[in-house]
C-alpha cells in the first residue's frame, strides 16, 4: 500500500511540471478568508475577527482540497467537536464533550440561518445537506441562547449553501469501493437583482460490516422478549440519502427550501437482532423559510425578519420479523423579528422577539401486515410553544468593545427562563484581538422526554430545562499567512436530561442530572500559502471535575484530539493528506485505545473550451484501516463496549466534478 501511495504522489509531481501551461487552481488568500461576512453569532454579517463569540469556519477551500464526504466529516476536524453514533442515530455531534443522549438536541443546526430541529425529539439531521451544496460551515462553540433560544445549548452549526454571483452549472459523480456511489447537480442563475439556485443529489454506501464485542448473557425485557446481545455478530451500515434545495433572493428578501430523505441501518433498539438490528431507519422532511435581511429604513435603523416551517417524519421497525414499526411526525412553525439601531459611531442597540410552536405531532407503533395501531406512544401530550424577547447593546471605543445581551423566554410548560451573555473585546491591532466571554444557555425538554409512554421508555413531565453557563478567554491573530485562534473555557452544566434503563425488565425513564463542571482548551491554526503549502492544525484538550456526574459524561470523551491536514497545488494537480487522532477513552467494560485515521487525496483539474472545467479526484480514506471506535455510552448496560463511527475499513473513491 505504501509503495503504491508514494508512486502515485511522485507521478503527480512529475506530471505537474509538464502541465504548467494550464491555469493553476488557487485557494483564497488568508486575508480573503478572514474578510468573509459570517452570519452566525450576530444578527448582522461581520468579519470573524469582530465576532463576539468563539467561531470556527469550514470554508469551501477546505471542503474541496480535503474531499470531505459529508457535513459530519467536515465539522469533525474542528477543535472541540466530536462525531458519535448512538444505537438510534448516526452522525451525532458533541460540542466540548457534552454528550448527546440518543439524539442531536443540544447543538442547534441552521441552514442559511434558518433553524431546523424535530419538535418531537429536538434533533436535527446533518445528512440533509449534501456536501457539494455547501459554501461554508460556521460553527459557534459554547452557550448561544441569547441569539437563538432553546437547543443552542452547547453550540450552533450554520450551513451556508452555495450562492454564485454568476450563472453556474455544476455536476459531480462519485464511485468507490466498497459500495459507494453518488450524483449531484446544481444550477444558479441571475436575472438582474434576482438570483435563483437549485440542486439535487443522491448518495448511497454499503460499508464493511464490523463485529460487536462484549455481549455476555441474554436478558428478558418488559415485553417478555429475550435479547441475546451477541446475536449482532456483524453490523453493516447502509445508507441512502436524497436531497433537493431551492433558493431565491432579490435585494433584502430571500427564500430557501430543503427537502430530504435519509435511510440508514441501525444496530437495534437493544443492539440485537430481536430488536431489529440491521433494519432500516427512514427520516424525511421539508424545511422552508423566508428571510428579510438588513432592510434599511434610514441610515440609523435596520430591520430583520424570518418565518419558517419545519416538518419531519421518521419510521423504523422495532422487532426482528419487521411486522411492527414505530412511526412519528412533527411540525414546527417559527418566526423572528428584530431591529438594529445605530445611535452613533460608538453605540448600537438591537431589540427583537420570536416564537416557536410545535404541533401536529404523532408517535405510534403500527402492526404492518394489517396497518393497525398497536400503541399510541404519547400520553397527555401538549403543544409546546415558546415566546421570547431579546436585546443586545454593543459599545465600541478605540481598541475596546463590549456587548451585553439577554433573552427572556416564556414557555407554556416551563414558565420562564432568562439567559444572558457579555463579551469584552480588546483589538490590539486590525489583525489581533482578545475576547473575554460570559454566556448562558437553556434547552427545554422535548415532547419525547416529557410524554413518551412506550413499553421500553416512559417520559417525565416533571423535568426541568437544561441550563449552562461558560467563561471563555480567546485570542485570535491573523498574520500574513497564518491564522491562530486559542481558547480556554470553564463551563457549568445543570439539570442535564439523561435517559436511563438500569433494569431491562422495566421501562427506561428520563431524569435531570445534578450540576457538573467541565473545562478545556482549543487551538486552531491555519496556514495558507499557494506557492509553498497549505495546512491546518486543530488541537483540543478536555477535562471535567472529579464528581460522579462529570465522570459519567467525560469518561466517554477523549481528553486529547488532534486534526491535521496538508495540501499542495502542483500546476493543475493537487495532493492532500489529513489525519484525525484521539487518545484513549473509558468504556463500560474496558478502555478503548488511542486511535487515528489517515486519508490521502489526489486531484487534477483541466479546462476545456467554452469555460468547461473538469476535476478528477482519487481518495484513499482510512489507509491504516483503523476501527475508530467510540464507547457505547447511550444505554450504559454492560453488554456492548463500543461502536464504530468512521472506520469501516479502507475506502477507495473516484469522483469527477464538472463546472460550466
How far does CA 183 lie from the centroid of its chain? 22
The tens digit of pLDDT for each residue in 51-64 reads: 677 889 999 999 99
Residue 528: how many CB atoms within 10 A of its CB?
Answer: 23
Q: What is the dihedral of CA 217, 84, 310, 62, to 10 degrees?
A: -160
Cell of 275: 430488536
Whose grid coordinates read 491562530?
A: 484
Beta strands in 464-515 (DSSP E): 466-478, 482-494, 496-500, 508-513
Q: How would you classify the pairing of strands 155-161 and 134-141?
A: antiparallel
Total number of residues shown for the chain: 660
What string of DSSP letters covers 379-446?
SS---EEEEEEEEEEEEEETTEEEEEEEEEEEETTTEEEEEEEEEEEEEEETTEEEEEEEEEEEE---
Highest mean predicted confidence (pLDDT) among 11-20, 94-103, 213-222:
94-103
Q: Specify whether the CB–CB gap between 180 and 653 falls below 8 A.
A: yes
Planar angle of CA 189, 195, 196, nearest 5 degrees: 60
Q: Where are the alpha helices (DSSP H) in 158-250?
A: none
320-348 residue pLDDT tens: 788 899 999 999 999 999 999 988 888 99
Residue range 448-475: mean pLDDT, rounded: 92
What is the four-CA torsion angle of 118, 635, 378, 149, rounded to 10 degrees?
-30
How many Cβ atoms from other residues are within 10 Å of residue 618's Cβ?
A: 17
What is the spatial distance between Cα 26 and Cα 483, in angstroms, rounded to a whole number? 18
Residue 609 DSSP symbol: G
Greater confidence, 37 or 23?
Answer: 37
Decide which of 388 and 660 is more confident. Answer: 388
Give the pLDDT band (50/70/90) at residue 10: very low
Percent helix, strand, coil in the chain, to 5, is 10, 55, 35
SS3 (DSSP) at 1 = coil
Q: What's this model's pTM, rounded to 2 decimal places?
A: 0.91
Grid coordinates representing 398 are: 478605540
Give tens-digit pLDDT for 215-247. Answer: 445 555 555 655 555 455 577 888 999 999 999
Amino acid at each position: 500500500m505504501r509503495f503504491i501511495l508514494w508512486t502515485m504522489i511522485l507521478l503527480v509531481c512529475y506530471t505537474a511540471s509538464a502541465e504548467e501551461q494550464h491555469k493553476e487552481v488557487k485557494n483564497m488568500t488568508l486575508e480573503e478568508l478572514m474578510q468573509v461576512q459570517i452570519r452566525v453569532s450576530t444578527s448582522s454579517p461581520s468579519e470573524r475577527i469582530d465576532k463576539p463569540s468563539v467561531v470556527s469556519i469550514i470554508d469551501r477551500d477546505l471542503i474541496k482540497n480535503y474531499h470531505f464526504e459529508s457535513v459530519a466529516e467536515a465539522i469533525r476536524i474542528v477543535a472541540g467537536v466530536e462525531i458519535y453514533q448512538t444505537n438510534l442515530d448516526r452522525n451525532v455531534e458533541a460540542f466540548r464533550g457534552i454528550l448527546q443522549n440518543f439524539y442531536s438536541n443540544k447543538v442547534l443546526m441552521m441552514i442559511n440561518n434558518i433553524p431546523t430541529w424535530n419538535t418531537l425529539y429536538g434533533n436535527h439531521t446533518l445528512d440533509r445537506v449534501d456536501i457539494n451544496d455547501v459554501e461554508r460551515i460556521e460553527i459557534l462553540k459554547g452557550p448561544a441562547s441569547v441569539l437563538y433560544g432553546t437547543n443552542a445549548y452547547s453550540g450552533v452549526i450554520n450551513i451556508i449553501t452555495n450562492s454564485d454571483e454568476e450563472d453556474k452549472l455544476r455536476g459531480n459523480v462519485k464511485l468507490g469501493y466498497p459500495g459507494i456511489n453518488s450524483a449531484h447537480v446544481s444550477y444558479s442563475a441571475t436575472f438582474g437583482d434576482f438570483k435563483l439556485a437549485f440542486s439535487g443529489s443522491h448518495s448511497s454506501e454499503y460499508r464493511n460490516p464490523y463485529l460487536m464485542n462484549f455481549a455476555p448473557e441474554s436478558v428478558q425485557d418488559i415485553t417478555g422478549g429475550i435479547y441475546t446481545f451477541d446475536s449482532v455478530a456483524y453490523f453493516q451500515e447502509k445508507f441512502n440519502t436524497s436531497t433537493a434545495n431551492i433558493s431565491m433572493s432579490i435585494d433584502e428578501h430571500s427564500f430557501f427550501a430543503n427537502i430530504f430523505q435519509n435511510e440508514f441501518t441501525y444496530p437495534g433498539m437493544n443492539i440485537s437482532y430481536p430488536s431489529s438490528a440491521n433494519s432500516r431507519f427512514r427520516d424525511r422532511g421539508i424545511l422552508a423559510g423566508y428571510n428579510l435581511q438588513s432592510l434599511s429604513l434610514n441610515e440609523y435603523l435596520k430591520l430583520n425578519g424570518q418565518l419558517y416551517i419545519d416538518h419531519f417524519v421518521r419510521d423504523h421497525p422495532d422487532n426482528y420479523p419487521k411486522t411492527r414499526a414505530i412511526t412519528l411526525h412533527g411540525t414546527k412553525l417559527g418566526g423572528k423579528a428584530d431591529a438594529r439601531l445605530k445611535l452613533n459611531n460608538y453605540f448600537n442597540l438591537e431589540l427583537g422577539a420570536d416564537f416557536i410552536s410545535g404541533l401536529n405531532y404523532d408517535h405510534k407503533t403500527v402492526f404492518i401486515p394489517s396497518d393497525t395501531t398497536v400503541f399510541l406512544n404519547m400520553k397527555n401530550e401538549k403543544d409546546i410553544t415558546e415566546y421570547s424577547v431579546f436585546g443586545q447593546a454593543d459599545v465600541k471605543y478605540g481598541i475596546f468593545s463590549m456587548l451585553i445581551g439577554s433573552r427572556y423566554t416564556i414557555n407554556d410548560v416551563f414558565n420562564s427562563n432568562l439567559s444572558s451573555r457579555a463579551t469584552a473585546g480588546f483589538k490590539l491591532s486590525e489583525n489581533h484581538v482578545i475576547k473575554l466571554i460570559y454566556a448562558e444557555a437553556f434547552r427545554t425538554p422535548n415532547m419525547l422526554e416529557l410524554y413518551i409512554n412506550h413499553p421500553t421508555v416512559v417520559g417525565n413531565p416533571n423535568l426541568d430545562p437544561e441550563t449552562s453557563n461558560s467563561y471563555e478567554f480567546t485570542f485570535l491573530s491573523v498574520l500574513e499567512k497564518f491564522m491562530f485562534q486559542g481558547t480556554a473555557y470553564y463551563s457549568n452544566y445543570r439539570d442535564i436530561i439523561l435517559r436511563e434503563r438500569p433494569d431491562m425488565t422495566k421501562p427506561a425513564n428520563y431524569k435531570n442530572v445534578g450540576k457538573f463542571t467541565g473545562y478545556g482548551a482549543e487551538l486552531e491554526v491555519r496556514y495558507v500559502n499557494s506557492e509553498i503549502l497549505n495546512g491546518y492544525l486543530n488541537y483540543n484538550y478536555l477535562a471535567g471535575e472529579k464528581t460522579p456526574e462529570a465522570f459519567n459524561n467525560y469518561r466517554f470523551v477523549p481528553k486529547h484530539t488532534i486534526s491535521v491536514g496538508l495540501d499542495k497545488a502542483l500546476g493543475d494537480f493537487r495532493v492532500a493528506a489529513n489525519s484525525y487522532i484521539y487518545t484513549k477513552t473509558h468504556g463500560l467494560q474496558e478502555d478503548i485505545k488511542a486511535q487515528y485515521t489517515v486519508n490521502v487525496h489526489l486531484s487534477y483539474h483541466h479546462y476545456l473550451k467554452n469555460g468547461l472545467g473538469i476535476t478528477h479526484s482519487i481518495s484513499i480514506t482510512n489507509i491504516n484501516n483503523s476501527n475508530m471506535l467510540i464507547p457505547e455510552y447511550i444505554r450504559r448496560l454492560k453488554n456492548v463496549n463500543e461502536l464504530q463511527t468512521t472506520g469501516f475499513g479502507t475506502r477507495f473513491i473516484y469522483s469527477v466534478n464538472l463546472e460550466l
